């Protein structure tokens, strides 16, 4: 555990140090987030924060390569080279998009390229969680992996709309996944506790922890496309890497929980971004628009439009991310019969915290509308 914590610390310090420098580079290069109708921020904010996050991850990964504890991960360098290639791809695509605002299809090509680099490096979906169905075909493994990585990248990108929201959700979900994969590795392997998925989550935790002080409201820098792609890449690659352990998990039960927990927790970690992605695609498709057309219908927009301040909306979404990710993780330690009543109570409280301000705001809007209607009738007269 100390080796992982060292990686977290070094990555955090690297991101804390590099973010102000890259923020200034973004300012001078003209990488500003413009003011649009759908945006919540009230002034232009420089981007390139994601470039600092990628650089911090590369520093943390380089450090891990020198630590004997992680030697098992770096024995076969092909997956590491694939990951490095993917990081370079998203760095280039993200930085260019922050500067010139690439069309959606160009960004999609870049995302597929990064995902393909991961898959060709050997980090692939090798088994499906339902019925322990192995994916024996190499092309199918690659296609499934590319799909999962690109889907997660876009899910994180969609939810990146408020100060600190995407980084906070990734930090919360990544920490839950970090704990699970670490304990899982200790249970499966008797002597070697190094694990690629756990290392990736350590890097993600460090990058998010180092970036959040600058990205919290009011944000002085945004992560931009580069940061969103990075978070999606790390989360999805870690989830895919866990599937390689499914053969070792056959017949295995971790605290009476089925062995498909790695996949279940992977989904739980990105549940909120995925929900926002699905609803956005359905909403835009229903009105005949492209799924990639930006609008102001995301979950965070609805909260802000419903009366929440921006920090309050972020806190509520962080709360739901924590409940889903850490609630799923808790199933490994608490018997289901005991966990369900607690989960029901927590969900009721979270729903009350979320809905009460929205209902109050709607009620106030109704009260404000009635005098306005009466006044209008008085001015123009009634027949």
The reply to whether 369 falls in a domain is no
pLDDT band at 332 (very low <50, low <70, confident <90, very high): confident
Is 368 part of any domain?
Answer: no
Mean of the pLDDT values across residues 350-373?
Answer: 66
Is the CB of residue 181 less than 8 Å from the CB of residue 197?
yes
How far is the C-alpha of 154 from the C-alpha of 158, rounded, in Å?
6
Per-residue pLDDT, 383: 36
Q: How many domains does the chain have?
A: 1
> What does the pLDDT read at residue 358?
65
User: How far is it, in rounded angstroms, from Cα 257 to Cα 253?
Assistant: 6
Q: Cβ distance 227 to 142 under 8 Å?
A: no
For 22, the domain range is 2-301
- pLDDT cut 90: percent of the chain above it: 40
Residue 101 in any domain: the answer is yes
Confidence grade of residue 27 (pLDDT, cut at 50, 70, 90): very high
Q: How confident is the model at residue 382 (pLDDT cuts 50, 70, 90)?
A: very low
Decide if 155 is inside a domain. yes
Hey, which of 64-78, 300-314, 342-356 has the most confident mean pLDDT? 64-78
Reading the block at residue 344, the tokens are: 């029901």
For residue 360, being part of any structural domain is answered with no
Two tokens, residue 158: 């969609």
Higher pLDDT, 304 or 261: 304
Provide the pLDDT for residue 377.
41
pTM to 2 decimals?
0.83
Residue 126 lies in a domain: yes
pLDDT tens across 75-125, in order?
Answer: 889 999 999 999 999 999 999 999 998 998 999 999 999 999 999 999 998
Averaged over 232-261, what is the pLDDT? 65
Residue 7 lies in a domain: yes
pLDDT number for residue 257:
43
pLDDT at 334: 76
- Residue pLDDT, tens place only, 38-82: 555 557 889 899 999 999 999 999 999 999 999 999 988 999 999
CB 246, CB 262: distance < 8 Å = yes
In a domain, 364, yes or no: no
pLDDT above 70 for 143: yes
pLDDT level of residue 11 (50, 70, 90 thresholds): very high
154 is in an annotated binding site: no
Residue 232 has pLDDT above 50, yes or no: yes
């Amino acid at each position: 555990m100390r080796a992982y914590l060292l990686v977290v610390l070094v990555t955090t310090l690297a991101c804390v140090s590099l973010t102000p420098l890259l923020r200034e580079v973004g300012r001078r290069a003209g990488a500003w987030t413009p003011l649009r109708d759908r945006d919540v921020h009230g002034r232009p904010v420089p981007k390139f924060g994601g470039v600092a996050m990628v650089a911090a991850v590369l520093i943390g990964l380089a450090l891990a390569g020198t630590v004997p504890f992680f030697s098992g991960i770096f024995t076969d360098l092909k997956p590491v080279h694939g990951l490095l290639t993917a990081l370079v791809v998203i760095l280039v695509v993200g930085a260019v998009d922050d500067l010139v605002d690439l069309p959606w299809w160009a960004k999609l090509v870049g995302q597929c390229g990064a995902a393909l680099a991961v898959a060709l490096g050997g980090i692939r979906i090798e088994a499906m969680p339902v019925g322990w169905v192995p994916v024996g075909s190499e092309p199918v493994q690659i296609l499934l992996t590319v799909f999962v990585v690109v889907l997660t990248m876009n899910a994180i990108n969609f939810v990146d709309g408020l100060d600190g929201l995407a980084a906070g959700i990734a930090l919360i979900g990544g920490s839950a996944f970090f704990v699970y994969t670490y304990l899982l590795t200790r249970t499966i392997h008797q002597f070697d506790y190094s694990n690629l998925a756990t290392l990736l989550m350590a890097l993600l935790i460090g990058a998010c922890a180092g970036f959040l002080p600058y990205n919290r409201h009011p944000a002085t820098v945004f992560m931009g496309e580069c940061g969103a792609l990075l978070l999606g890449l790390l989360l999805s690659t870690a989830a895919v890497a866990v599937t390689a352990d499914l053969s070792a998990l056959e017949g295995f039960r971790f605290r009476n929980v089925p062995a498909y927990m790695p996949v279940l927790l992977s989904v739980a970690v990105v549940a909120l971004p995925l929900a926002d992605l699905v609803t956005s695609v359905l909403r835009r498709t229903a009105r005949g628009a492209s799924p990639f057309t930006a609008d102001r219908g995301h979950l965070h927009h609805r909260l802000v439009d419903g009366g929440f301040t921006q920090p309050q909306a972020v806190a509520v979404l962080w709360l739901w991310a924590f409940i889903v990710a850490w609630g799923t993780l808790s199933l490994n330690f608490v018997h289901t019969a005991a966990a369900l009543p607690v989960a029901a109570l927590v969900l009721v409280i979270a729903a009350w915290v979320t809905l009460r301000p929205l209902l109050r705001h709607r009620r106030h809007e109704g009260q404000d509308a009635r005098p306005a209607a009466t006044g209008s009738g008085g001015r123009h007269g009634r027949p």
